[in-house]
């Protein structure tokens, strides 16, 4: 056996948990059989099912040599008699105390920090109180003396098609009845589509109990949670994410998953629901792009969204005693991140690090910022550049207001990075390389970002981004708005030239003609306006700009 299949039944992260739970157990089986050579396990999303492929064949004879192992940690709570437990366990009360102390003493490096997987521990400790986690753990340990029988049935079950699985399940059921394997109900923490009182086979009543599920796949879902789930609490609510593989090795997926939590923790606060969505995607993209010598050929080239599809998630609303699922969705990774060399890959890392810093400095607690963050999330998750332009219209106002209040820790987008991002879409490249477009975008920069940084407020044109947005509804209105802006800009330069203070170039008639030629093509005024704000409100990485920002950065942050 070297190919296995996990069929998707729910369309939620429950399927992903089952898949990764099986793969995690499969890897442990290989480790027990051969402690030296570890096979590569590839997970591939085939649409209606996951295909798991190993580069090493495993036989029934090999499974006879497989030593017993616990497939998940046991989480002990205050009801357990810990001194009587004969196996390793996680003391939830102790871990919770460590977490609480660390939370009260934020920033103190001498304080012991909570486990990086405390979110999973907390989730399963709560399930444990309802006997779910304990049932699963005890079911597994009942096979300790016949462990080779369990793993043989497990691998056979996922090696066969849907029809043959029924025969295998019936054979396994006879043995499991003798061992008194407990039936496992659905738990919305790992079965978000199967809360209590819903999805009954017959819609003739609402039952208080959870739906009864086949114990074998449900058991795997508990194992899979330790390899892909990220749980973030948002005030009294919480949101659960599952890292969804597309075509990737289990080892690589695990490396990325384990790197996300420590990177995400310092960037978000308890109420940052939208920012968590955004930052998870940004961090995952960065980790996928990073150069890894072992996976050079496989991971350093081409689009990144054909390795990891994104994040499946469920939002749980607190209703007092128990939460309820109010939203189930999917966050995709962007499809426009492509590169053909390590240098280009590093440039993309710089771009996403910049975006990560910018998003981190936008407070979600301010209601006026929520729409802006929602637009950015739509951009990065759906690869929707129109949504990005909508975000930039708002961010242009945001950054001008911040600089006007001397909050220089708020960063403008880097011009070079913005050009690379826009050039990733072929349709945009011709526009941003147009000489007239470049001159007008530079004129916008000279009337917005640059003068306000240098505290020359009389030279700042406030609200220009909104004027361009409003004018973008039609070709004529946009051209009229740009013509008026250019006229005012040239008059300002002429006045400075008269007083020997000129340091900017005029926008020439030739520039206007070149810019107008863009409208002769198939480009919409909304696209051209969006790109004008994107490039115009980005900042050239000059030494003067860097010094200006760095000199005022700390003061601005302290005042905030």
- 490, 443 in Cβ contact below 8 A? no
Q: Is 300 inside any structural domain?
A: yes
Give the position of tokens 């990737």: 248
Nearest to 479, CA basis, from 525, 520, 441, 420: 525
pLDDT tens digits, 411-437: 999 999 999 999 988 789 999 999 999
| 393 and 342 fall within a common domain | no
Q: Is 520 inside any structural domain?
A: yes
Q: Which domain holds residue 311?
A: 229-362
Residue ending a domain, among 362, 392, 424, is 362
pLDDT tens digits, 444-463: 999 999 999 888 888 899 99
Instruction: Give 62's Cβ-side CA count (13 Å radius).
Output: 14
Q: What six digits make up the tokens of 36?
A: 């030296």
Instruction: Give 312's Cβ-side CA count (13 Å radius).
Output: 19
For residues 160 and 106, the model is more confident at 160
For the chain, the residue count is 560
- Where does 105-146 have alpha helices with state H? 118-129, 132-141
Mean pLDDT in the chain? 86
Q: Is 479 inside any structural domain?
A: yes
Per 3-state DSSP, the chain is made up of helix, strand and coil in percentages (nearest 5) of: 55, 10, 30
DSSP result, 47-71: SSEEEEEESS---HHHHTTPPP--S
- Please give the span between the terminal C-alpha atoms of the chain, in angstroms, as a whole number: 61
Contacts of 104 (CB under 8 A, 6+ apart): none
- 358, 398 in Cβ contact below 8 A? no
| 416 and 549 fall within a common domain | yes
Q: Is 126 inside any structural domain?
A: no
| 277 and 390 fall within a common domain | no
Q: Find the helix or strand (DSSP H, E) in which 3 lies.
A: strand 3-7
HEC string for 416-462 = HHHHHHHHCCHHHHHHHCCHHHHHHHHHHHHHCHHHHHCCCHHHCCC
Q: Find the helix or strand (DSSP H, E) in which 89 lies.
A: strand 89-91
Residue 340's Cα: distance from chain center in Å? 24
Residue ending a domain, among 310, 327, 362, is 362
| 265 and 401 fall within a common domain | no
- 451, 457 in Cβ contact below 8 A? yes
| 345 and 397 fall within a common domain | no
| 429 and 469 fall within a common domain | yes
Question: CA-to-CA distance for 425 and 476, rounded, in angstroms?
Answer: 26
Residue 534 has a pLDDT of 97
Give the position of tokens 């103190």: 108
Q: Is 53 inside any structural domain?
A: yes
Give the position of tokens 């950065």: 553
- 5, 50 in Cβ contact below 8 A? yes
| 473 and 424 fall within a common domain | yes
| 155 and 271 fall within a common domain | no
Question: CA-to-CA distance for 533 and 17, rounded, in angstroms?
Answer: 43
Nearest to 285, CA basis, from 378, 376, 352, 354: 352
| 245 and 164 fall within a common domain | no
Q: Is 123 inside any structural domain?
A: no
Q: Residue 133: count other Cβ atoms within 10 Å of its Cβ.
A: 23
pLDDT tens digits, 348-370: 999 999 999 999 999 888 888 99
pTM for the model stands at 0.88
pLDDT grade for 109, boundaries at 50, 70 and 90: confident
| 332 and 392 fall within a common domain | no
pLDDT grade for 467, boundaries at 50, 70 and 90: very high
HEC string for 301-322 = CCCCCCCEEEEEEEEEEECCCC
pLDDT grade for 494, boundaries at 50, 70 and 90: confident
| 551 and 508 fall within a common domain | yes
Q: Is 398 inside any structural domain?
A: yes
Q: Find the helix or strand (DSSP H, E) in which 43 lies.
A: strand 41-45
- 184, 132 in Cβ contact below 8 A? yes
Q: Is 110 inside any structural domain?
A: no
- Structural domain total, the chain: 3
- 187, 130 in Cβ contact below 8 A? yes
Q: What percent of the chain has pLDDT over 70?
A: 88
Q: Are strands 41-45 and 247-249 parallel, antiparallel or unpaired?
A: antiparallel
DSSP 414: B
Q: What six digits make up the tokens of 384?
A: 């929707």
- What torsion do the CA atoms of 436, 438, 444, 450 make, to the nearest 10 degrees? -150
Over range 265-271, report the average pLDDT: 74
Question: CA-to-CA distance for 342 and 348, rounded, in angstroms?
Answer: 10
Q: How far is CA 129 from CA 134, 315, 485, in A?
A: 8, 21, 66
Residue 196 has a pLDDT of 58
- 220, 17 in Cβ contact below 8 A? yes
For residues 66 and 342, the model is more confident at 66
Instruction: Give 2's Cβ-side CA count (13 Å radius).
Output: 6
Residue ending a domain, among 329, 362, 395, is 362
Asked if residue 335 has pLDDT above 70, the reply is yes
Least trusted range by pLDDT, from 241-255, 495-509, 520-534: 495-509
pLDDT tens digits, 435-446: 999 999 999 999
| 391 and 523 fall within a common domain | yes
């Amino acid at each position: 056996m070297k190919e296995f299949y996990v069929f998707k039944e729910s369309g939620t992260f429950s399927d992903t948990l089952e898949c990764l739970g099986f793969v995690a157990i499969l890897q442990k089986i290989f480790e027990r059989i051969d402690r030296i050579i570890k096979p590569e396990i590839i997970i591939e999303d085939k649409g209606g099912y996951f295909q798991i492929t190993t580069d090493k064949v495993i036989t029934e004879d090999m499974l006879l040599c497989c030593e017993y192992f616990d497939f998940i940690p046991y989480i002990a709570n205050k009801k357990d008699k810990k001194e009587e437990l004969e196996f390793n366990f996680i003391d939830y009360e102790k871990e919770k105390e460590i977490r609480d102390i660390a939370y009260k003493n934020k920033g103190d490096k001498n304080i012991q920090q909570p486990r990086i997987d405390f979110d999973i521990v907390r989730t399963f400790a709560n399930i444990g109180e309802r006997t779910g986690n304990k049932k699963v753990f005890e079911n597994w340990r009942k096979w300790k003396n016949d462990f080779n029988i369990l793993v043989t049935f497990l691998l056979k079950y996922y090696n066969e098609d849907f029809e043959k699985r029924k025969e295998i399940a019936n054979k396994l059921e006879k043995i499991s009845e003798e061992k008194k394997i407990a039936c496992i109900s659905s738990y919305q923490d790992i079965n978000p589509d199967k809360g209590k009182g819903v999805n009954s086979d017959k819609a003739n009543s609402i039952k208080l109990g959870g739906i009864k599920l086949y114990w074998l796949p449900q058991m795997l879902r508990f194992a899979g949670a330790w390899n892909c789930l990220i749980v973030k609490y948002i005030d009294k609510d919480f949101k659960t994410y599952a890292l969804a593989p597309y075509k990737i090795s289990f080892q690589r997926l695990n490396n990325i998953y384990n790197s996300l939590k420590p990177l995400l923790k310092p960037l978000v606060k308890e109420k940052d629901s939208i920012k968590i969505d955004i930052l998870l995607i940004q961090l995952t993209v960065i980790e996928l792009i990073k150069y890894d010598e072992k996976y050079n050929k496989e991971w350093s080239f081409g689009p990144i969204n054909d390795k990891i599809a994104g994040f499946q998630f469920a939002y749980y609303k607190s209703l007092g005693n128990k939460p309820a699922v109010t939203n189930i969705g999917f966050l995709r990774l962007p499809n426009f991140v492509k590169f053909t060399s390590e240098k280009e890959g590093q440039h993309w890392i710089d771009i996403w690090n910049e975006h990560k810093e910018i998003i981190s400095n936008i407070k979600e607690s301010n209601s006026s910022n929520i729409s802006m963050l929602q637009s950015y999330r739509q951009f990065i998750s759906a690869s929707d550049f129109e949504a990005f332009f909508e975000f930039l219209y708002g961010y242009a106002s945001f950054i001008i207001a911040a600089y006007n209040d001397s909050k220089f820790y708020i960063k403008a987008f880097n011009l070079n990075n913005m050009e690379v991002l826009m050039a990733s879409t072929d349709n945009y490249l011709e526009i941003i390389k147009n000489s007239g477009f470049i001159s007008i975008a530079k004129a916008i920069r000279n009337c917005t970002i640059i003068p306000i940084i240098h505290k020359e407020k009389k030279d700042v044109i406030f609200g220009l981004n909104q004027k361009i947005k409003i004018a973008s509804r039609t070709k004529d209105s946009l051209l009229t708005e740009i013509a008026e802006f250019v006229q005012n800009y040239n008059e300002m330069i002429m006045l400075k030239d008269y007083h020997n203070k000129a340091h900017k170039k005029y926008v020439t008639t030739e520039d206007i003609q070149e810019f107008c030629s863009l409208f002769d093509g198939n480009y919409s005024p909304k696209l051209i306006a969006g790109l004008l704000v994107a490039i115009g409100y980005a900042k050239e990485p000059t030494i003067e700009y860097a010094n200006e920002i760095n000199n005022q950065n700390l003061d601005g942050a302290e005042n905030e």
